[in-house]
Structure 1
Amino acid sequence: MNYKHVILLFSILILSACKKQDVYLNKIEGRQINISDSLKIDQNIEDFVKPYRKRVNADLDSVLAYAVDTYSKNDGDYNTAIGNMLADAVYEQSNPIFKSRTGETIDFVLLNHGGIRSIISKGDITTRTAYEVMPFDNSAVVVKLKGTQVKELVEYLAKGKRAHPISRLNIVLDADGNLKSATLDGTPLDFSKTYNVATNDYLYNGGDRMDFFKTNDSLYVLDYKVRNVLIDYFSKIDTLNPVIDNRFIKLKK
């Protein structure tokens, strides 16, 4: 073998060695790290975060109003004090925005019972209270529903027999649990009309199987988180004292 052949063979060996090798993942391992006081604190991180934490806690603990009692979403069968307050707050805070943009008004409000994630305890109401009651970033929207869809909405509530928060809408079930009446400001709903219904974007997208929101004429996004609705509502009242009323009831006889 002469030197040319040696050089050629050497070059082939180098090129073969430099060829990219395929790499395959064949194993994944993980372990659980329990978060507890036993974990060692990184003091540098703690010193960096401390002033921000202090500012956030100060904002969250700022007092907005006072609750005369403790309110839970489980304190009523068909409507609850906290649910009534929430639905009324959405109407009161959202209606002026909707009217200024469209010249129309909100006819009624429907939210979901499961969206209320905490009680409101007797005593000071803070910004933190609003975050505890409504920790999700759901936003208020107004949906223009045809009468056929409103009929489905009412039938959904009557069948579900659950304290979904409503405002300005009155539903009465007979002693057997069948729908007896559905009125708006004392006037029976007209299922040939179109109604502006305020809700949240979670329900608009079919949450809690409220599919009647999916087929609608128009959607108005208010860019107003329900949590901020609560904060603004709490900020303008002095005392919170909601009650269970007759907006959704079942007759005994």
Structure 2
Amino acid sequence: MKKTRLSLFLLLSVILLSCKGNEVKPSEIKGQRIAIDEKIEPDAEIEEFVAPFKEHLNKTLDSTLAYNPNDMVKSDGDLNTAIGNLMADLVIEQANPIFKSRTGNEIDMVLLNHGGIRAGLNKGNISTRSAYALMPFENEIVVAELSGEKIKEMLTYLERAKTAHPVSGIQIEMDQDYKVTSAKINGEDFDEDKTYFVATSDYLQQGGDNMNFFKDPIQLYKVDYKLRNAIIDYFKKVDTLTVEKDNRFIRK
């Protein structure tokens, strides 16, 4: 046994010594940041291939869908803005028929987020490109069935936010300190013992913008309708936008 161990030791020593002259060293690695900008010369062959697709895409994006008689920006109001009202109203108009056909119920109200409005709408023709600028994300419309307690949490959230989060189907009055003094849903006083179907985006329903009251609803319904597609479909339908600021969410 001792001779065997000695033989193995001698064999390993010979192997190690024979490998010593053939050491493998790691290659030197260098990194370089290459900017992707206008300084890079375009590939003529690729540009020629892409050209017809680019032309078709631009034609689609720039085609007129509707007319906007007034400039709209999300900073033109304290607690409600024309563009925010537009966003919330079109969600009910476009999503409610789908929701009703699937569930037999109707959407009671809508709540979106002020930060989700990513661009304004200039006076003049409105195109598909306008809709993509307004909503560049792939957010989908969902409907959360919320208890009266969750609606109370929502109102508390809005008191703290002091922001023009787009709403529809609900009328909220606050005092000068942003405390809710009145809340009506579908024209009736908010009832803590009722449940309400609230349409929003999947991003907000999952707690985006700290809207945690949307989490764990009584029931969650998917509408399978992207918010941006709803905007485009609404623009195609209305011809001329007539939305404006109103008294749906105000301080008195």
TM-score by length of 2: 0.88
For residue 33 of structure 1, the aligned residue among 32, 35, 40 is 35
Q: Distance in 2 between matches of 1:25 and 1:143?
A: 57
SS in 1 for 2:120: coil
SS in 2 for 1:124: strand
* 2:173 alignment partner in structure 1: 172
Shift of 1:206: 0.4
Unaligned runs of 5+ in 1: 1-8
Unaligned runs of 5+ in 2: 1-10
Identity value in percent: 50
Aligned residue pairs: how many? 235
Shift of 1:23: 8.5
Equivalent positions of 1:1-253 (< 5 A) are 27=29, 29-36=31-38, 38-251=39-252
Q: Distance in 2 between matches of 1:65 and 1:125?
A: 5
Letter of the 1:237 partner, please give it: V
Shift of 1:208: 0.3
Tell me which stretches of 4 or more aligned residues in structure 1 moved more than 6 Å: 21-26
CA contact (8 A) 2:108 2:186 kept: no
Q: Distance in 2 between matches of 1:169 and 1:236?
A: 24
Give the root-mean-square deviation of aligned CA atoms. Answer: 2.0
Compared CA separation, residues 164 and 33, structure 1 to 2 (3 A) = same
* 2:3 alignment partner in structure 1: none
Deviations 1:141-198 (A, max 9, x none): 0001111111101111122110000001011011332110111133111111111000
Deviations 1:93-138 (A, max 9, x none): 0000000000000000000000000010100000111000000000
SS in 2 for 1:239: coil
Q: Distance in 2 between matches of 1:115 and 1:176?
A: 25
Q: Distance in 1 between matches of 2:41 and 2:86?
A: 44
Shift of 1:34: 4.4
Letter of the 1:109 partner, please give it: V
TM-score by length of 1: 0.88
Q: Distance in 1 between matches of 2:27 and 2:118?
A: 42
Letter of the 2:40 partner, please give it: L
